[in-house]
A and B are shown apart, each in its own frame.
Chain A
Amino acid sequence: MNRSVRILLSSAIALVGIGDAAFAAPARGGVIDVATIGEPPTLDPVSSTADLVGIISQHVFETLYTFDKAWAPTPLLAASLPEISADGTVYRIPLRTGVKFHDGSTMTSKDVVASLQRWMKIGSRGKQVATNVVSVEADGDAAVKITLKVAYAPLTAFLAFNNSAAIVVPAANNEDTLTKIVGTGPYMLKERKPDQYIQLVRFDGYASRPGEPDGYGGARKQWLDEIRFVPVPDANTRVEGAVAGQFAYVDSLPIESFDRVKAGKDKPVMLKPFGWPMFVMNTKQGLFTDLALRKAVQAALAPEDMMTAAFGSKEFFSVDGAMYPKEYVWSTNAGTEAYKAQGATETAAAMVKRAGYDASKPIRILTSRQYEFHYKMALVAQEYLKAAGFAVQLDVVEWATLVQRRADPALWDIYITHSPFLPEPALIGFMSDAAPGWWTSPAKTAAIAALNTAIDPKKRIEAWAEVQKVIYAEAPAYKVGNFNALAAKAPKLEGVSPAPWPYFWNAWLEK
């Protein structure tokens, strides 16, 4: 054998080896520990909009629809996308048959109807939908029919979302306060020891959808035997856990720990972009009932400096006024001319003067150090607002106090929050008339009505651009920018994609 042939052969063997490693077949078995930011307030995803509840419970409970890789609704417990009447008011949802609950019973339309009614009674998002629902009824054993007062295009997305989620539970368990954690998901609850672990084990009777995984949709493979969610509320401890390789996955790490995590045993997982911080303005009472002052705030704020203070390196954020980043179909720059990366202090100062602002009434910014980046942004915003001629009072409280105070319009002018990018604009919290901020206006009502009643997806995207224009014109809230989320995963954990609500069906451990 001459030298060239030997080199060729050994290269071929090496390539085969690499191929094996890179495309190793998923292996069944194994247990993973997933470190989360704390103990969830409940395991019932109907009764909470907290992301943590959704992250854990989505393994146990399922909804009629979910979202695919492109964030479009895709069937989960439903057999197909809904059959919608021409006027958009009747949704017929065919159901999959042979789907088992964890208690061994089989899902029927009776369970689905009871579950949807429960969702509309106690779920925040369900109640939002319920105002427009005439009836929910079974259409035989394997379909349900939802009749609406007027067309409501976001309905499928609402049925797909995983917090305040329209989960399906057995009709017999359909109490307001869920006492039996019985769903149809790929994993079922074995044991919950609060502040220690939530142990989920493979549900052997699980009926996966056929085909391949597709985002949260498609087939759900149950490679892992067990998934244990371990609450680790202290962020530094989560970082140390990632560095030491204690967990297979560590959620929600401080962005500044990136280099430290990179040098550790688990490896960083960056979701880029993850979400957006926002300054919600109180349009119901106080200073910001005056549109001119809201516009002055919009001009005064300098998002680039605020994001730099909050997230440090540009590797972890981007300055972008569009309500959705380019990765989403909803992304548009309509109306974003008012968003100035460096702020426009002089323009803002003139606007403040023109509006006849009374400096004895400071802007009360309600914030918390629960999320340190909120506080850092508040400090920078305070200086820019002062430069524009506003008096500013920072009310820094702990999170539970903030959540209570923001419900009282007498107590604040701006509160700071953030959100992941949600797959459907109608899910965005401050868009609801009833959400703190209480933004209502004829222009908003008209733009939202167009968005909600347009059935053609392309028309909806155009309608959303109009909504974004109204948001910038009326400034009920100020989007600061886009930021990334950092997590960490063990090198041998495969099949996990960065996601705002990480999921571990389809994940496996490399042997």
Chain B
Amino acid sequence: MARVILRRLVEMVAVMALVVTIVFVIVRVAPGDPAAMMLGPDATPQDVADLRTRLGLDSSLVAQYGRYVGGLLTGDLGQSIFLARPVGQALWERAEPTFFLTLFSILVACGIALPVGILSAYRRGSLFDQVTTTTAVFVASVPSFWLGLVLMQVFAVKLGWFDPSGYGGPGASLGERLHHLILPAVALGIVSSALIARFTRASMLDVLGDDYVRTARAKGMGEARVVLKHALKNALIPILTVIGLTAALLISGAIVTETVYGLPGVGSLVVSAVLRRDYPVIQGTLLIVAGLYVLINFVIDMLYLAVDPRVRY
């Protein structure tokens, strides 16, 4: 077990080193210039060149890369060009809405997907199964931003139950802030539920025909116990994987939904950083998101080991 963990940690470091380099190169090679964005429409090319010098963007790529990696080794993700604060601080400030949005979305997604997936598998071929399977295909095809706008239209504009956008003003309590996350979490949760439901159904179908399930039934065990305790436990590995990957995707991928709802999360930070070419923020955010992916994959692998002792690496 210790050797597995050690090996995986070494692999994680190598992946992260690769991510740092690739992100740095892609960001610099892409067209656009933070100095031009900072200075606005009436700046002359000479003004832009002057600001590039002040920002240290006129030095060679190798020198900039060296400075960046040097900073990373001391835990410094750099300084945002536009936000007047370190990248680490900017990310930390965005962690709360993104964390809770992800959490609520996963809760909504699981709350819909697990019962639907389990019941579909249990009643395979029934009208319920056909309707939910077809609906899942439809829901998976719905863009979350479109659903977000529809929910906003109904529940915020027409019914007035929520503010259409934002995350609360100065002094807003945690409860008030979280209230702003309900609509986007429902939008993201519904869209994410389709994939989880389909995986749950498929995984349950695999195990419901197994011998041990038949044996459990033969022993006179109640159906609920057979399905929820014996079958579900063994079907959990692919379901956990897809939930984990959905969570990772939500952390980074709620980009459009956060923008539509004006939420100051990691997604909107990435969007604004890309639009402005705030290199340090793009690099720092992608690095952290990639790190989270790597970490979540690592945790999922460890969960495999815990859930199914037959798994070996």
Contact = CB atoms under 8 A, between A and B. Distances in A.
B72 interface: no
B222 interface: no
B164 A240 contact: yes
Q: Which of A38, A196, A236, A401 has the most CB of B within 10 A?
A: A196
Contacts, number: 157
Nearest to B85: A194
B45 interface: yes
Contacts of A231: 262
Interface residues of B, number: 51
Given A50-B41, A164-B40, A195-B269, A240 B264 contact: no
Interface stretch (A320-328, A345-353, A402-410): A402-410
Contacts of A314: none
B178 to A, nearest CB: 14
A371 to B, nearest CB: 11
B41 A417 contact: yes
Given A228-B170, A401-B32, A434-B44, A240 B157 contact: yes
A127 interface: yes
Interface in B77-131: 82-85, 90, 93-94
A164 B48 CA distance: 13
A232 B45 contact: no
Interface of A: 31, 33, 38-39, 41-43, 47-51, 53, 122, 124-125, 127, 163-164, 176-177, 179, 190-197, 199, 228, 230-234, 236-237, 240-241, 243-244, 246, 264, 397-401, 403-405, 407, 417, 419, 427, 429, 432, 434-436
Contact of A230 (B157, B166, B269): B166
Given A42-B82, A244-B163, A234 B41 contact: no
B257 to A, nearest CB: 11
Given A190-B170, A429-B41, A400 B165 contact: no
B272 A404 contact: no
Contact of B33 (A33, A39, A404): A404
Nearest to B167: A196
B272 A240 contact: no
Contacts of B50: 122
Interface stretch (B12-20, B60-68, B148-156, B196-204): B148-156
B60 to A, nearest CB: 19
B170 A237 contact: no
B8 interface: no
A53 B36 CA distance: 14
B31 interface: yes
A33 B23 CA distance: 37
Given A403-B33, A417-B41, A197 B169 contact: yes
A423 to B, nearest CB: 14
B243 to A, nearest CB: 28
Given A193-B264, A240-B152, A397 B31 contact: yes
A405 B262 CA distance: 30
Residue of A199, A231, A244, A432 with most chain B CB atoms under a 10 A cut-off? A244
B43 interface: yes
A41 B36 CA distance: 11
